[in-house]
Amino acid sequence: MTDALQIADKTFNSRLFTGTGKFSSSKKMQEAITASESELVTVALKRVELNNKSDDILIHLNENHINILPNTSGVRTAKEAIFAAHLAREALETNWVKLEIHPDPKFLLPDPIETLKASEELVKQGFIVMPYIHADPVLCKRLEDVGVQCVMPLGAPIGSNKGMVTKDFLEIIIEQSNVPVIVDAGIGAPSHAACAMEMGADAVLVNTAIAVSQNPIAMGSAFKLAVKAGRMAYNAKLAPLKQYAQASSPLTSFLNE
């Protein structure tokens, strides 16, 4: 049985999505992405020259024949996000968009209200919408209702490498969701990615931890293995956690006497 991930019309064999920021060169980025075997890579619109076919980042991604997921990083409102999504659709010929609306440039935390507004509108306009949001179970259901193709709750503040800080809320989101749940932001180590996958996340998105590592290629590969291991463990069903030892003198054994 195949364990591929389906989002809209695309099938992904890898459940590790990556980003393009913070690398020391586009070549390093390309090599790290190759090592990670990621099939979906997000690119900030503001960083690429959309009308320049020789844009350094895009050229390196195109060489890998990788799916490009434009993101709207830098926009502050739903209106700007919609505008950016249209620009991306025109220039990059994709109707996929990773919706990132963070009016706060310091912590880059997503605005739930604007994100919901933009998602609703973009879905109506035929976009495949992948919203970056807080680990808010109610917001995830609201987004599902307006027709997003997945939700991308954060594990911890973006770029913090702190791991699964929002674990309790992610568990609720995963349990309740009818669309794929991709843990985005905060994953700082392969063990964090494995943890997300063991919990039942459908995929993870990792950028800083790979790009800023001293060896991004080896780290890309390490994340690939961790995501696979975590997914395999999820499918194999983890042995249940026990809060206390099995008593040698059971309290209810008299019932069998």
Partner 1 sequence: MSSFKNIFDLYDWDTLEKEIYRFSSADVQRVLSKDKITLEDFKVLISPAAKPYIEEMGQRSNMLTKKRFGNTIQMYIPMYLSNECQNICTYCGFSLLNKIKRKTLSDKEILKEVAHIKHLGYDHILLVTGEANNTVGVPYLKNAIRLIREHFSNISIEVQPLDQEEYKTLIKEGLFAVLIYQETYHKATYKTHHPKGKKSNFDYRLATPDRLGKAGIHKIGLGALYGLEDWRVDSFYTALHLKYLQKTYWKTKYSISFPRLRPHQGNVEPKVEMTDADLVQLICAYRLLDEDVELSMSTRESENFRNNIINLGITSMSAASKTNPGGYAVDPQSGEQFEISDERSTEEIKRLIQSQGYEVVWKDWDKNISESVKDEFENSRKTTI
Q: How far is CA 174 from CA 90, 113, 225, in A?
A: 33, 21, 22
98 flagged as catalytic: yes
Least distance CB 93 / partner 1 (angstroms) = 17
Least distance CB 123 / partner 1 (angstroms) = 20
Written as six digits, the tokens of 21 are 């920021």
Identify which of residues 45 and 129 has a Cβ nearer to partner 1 in the complex: 45
Neighbour-count burial of 24, counting CB atoms closer than 10 A to its CB (0-12 exposed, 13-18 middle, 19+ buried):
exposed
Neighbour-count burial of 77, counting CB atoms closer than 10 A to its CB (0-12 exposed, 13-18 middle, 19+ buried):
middle
Least distance CB 121 / partner 1 (angstroms) = 14
Instruction: Give the DSSP H or E segment for 31.
Output: helix 26-36
Identify which of residues 83 and 169 has a Cβ nearer to partner 1 in the complex: 83
Backbone angles phi, psi at 145, to 5 degrees: -60, -35
Cβ-based neighbours of 13, under 8 Å, separated by 6 or more: 4, 39
183 within 8 A of 205, measured Cβ to Cβ: yes
Identify which of residues 105 and 240 has a Cβ nearer to partner 1 in the complex: 105
133 within 8 A of 152, measured Cβ to Cβ: yes
Residues that bind partner 1 (CB under 8 A): 21-26, 45-50, 74-77, 79-80, 83-84, 87, 103-107, 159, 161, 208, 211-212
- Find where tokens 């568990």 sit: 171
Least distance CB 44 / partner 1 (angstroms) = 8
Catalytic pick among 10, 28, 79, 98: 98
Identify which of residues 10 and 47 has a Cβ nearer to partner 1 in the complex: 47
Identify which of residues 103 and 250 has a Cβ nearer to partner 1 in the complex: 103
Least distance CB 83 / partner 1 (angstroms) = 4
- Point out the residues that are catalytic: 98
